[in-house]
Structure 1
């Protein structure tokens, strides 16, 4: 595989924005992301600059990891958020121990099926372990079978925790987690 997987750099905010906008145009984006293309496109440049700086190489609370194709094009990404014990997560649930939370997983369709998503997820897990996480988790829409199969393949298991979607009443997301051995 001729791909380079690495953390972003703060000055790459334009590429962060471009790949996010591509991801939000994916046919299953409504199942995978809590933001629409229109919402993301409306953010000012300062939003993207701050987002990139806060998740760039060397950051300890959030890390965005990308995959560069053989020609240098960004073809995949994911972000890991660190959640501290004693706090609450984005959905208001208590965080019982330090954990990484994988979000915003995306690989361009023409680069899927070659194991690249697994490599990105592995990189995210390793980053979380390096930050002292005791577990890594993610939330996946109940109807996103493709993502659920991928996460099971790389070792995540459903925890039984469900998260209702405020923007889509009646729909839920499922928590999957990987425990540190």
Structure 2
């Protein structure tokens, strides 16, 4: 069974383990680079500071081990929230971990008063797109700067019922 834990600055070492694994395994999926968080960037105070930014940070735990991560942030104005930094380790994929993480951010966003939940997904990431569609997200099209391959990230949106 997949369990979800909300992380605080005290959980920085778990976040560090997940984030470094995510950046190493799927560098194309994140705006940060692994090198940015290694060497001089790999400091306890920096990891703690990242988990102190307003929002929500979740880790998925399977068989006692952290296997996935996701974050949520409220957009300026508070009417929408954004799901960011989603990643599930290769050994945990296909076991419902992504579903549990999406639901955790969705529940947090509702409690935060957001009317919709947004996310960006890289073009061609069909597994992520399928996950998000299963949860009611709709693709509203490409946005952002052109990527090196000529594509653009796609924004997906899900209206949230309040209350």
Decide: shared fold, TM above 0.5: yes
Higher helix share: 2
> Structure 1 segments of 4 or more deviating over 6 A?
none
Secondary structure of 2:106's aligned partner: helix
1:94-142 C-alpha deviation (Å, 9 max, x unpaired): xxx6111001101111111011101110110100010000100000111
Coordinate RMSD, CA, aligned:
1.7
User: 1:78-93 counterparts in 2 under 5 A?
Assistant: 78-85=70-77
**Do residues 138 (structure 1) and 127 (structure 2) align?**
no
Instruction: Tell me if structure 1 keeps the 8 A contact 2:15–2:59.
Output: no
User: 1:2-151 counterparts in 2 under 5 A?
Assistant: 3-26=2-25, 28-30=26-28, 32-42=29-39, 43=41, 44-54=43-53, 61-71=54-64, 73-85=65-77, 98-151=79-132
Shift of 1:15: 1.5
User: In 2, distance between residues paired with 1:171 and 1:34?
Assistant: 15
State the TM-score, normalized to the length of structure 2.
Answer: 0.89
**Do residues 176 (structure 1) and 156 (structure 2) align?**
yes
1:46-73 C-alpha deviation (Å, 9 max, x unpaired): 211111233xxxxxx31101111222x2
Gaps of 5+ in 1: 55-60, 86-96
Shift of 1:169: 7.0
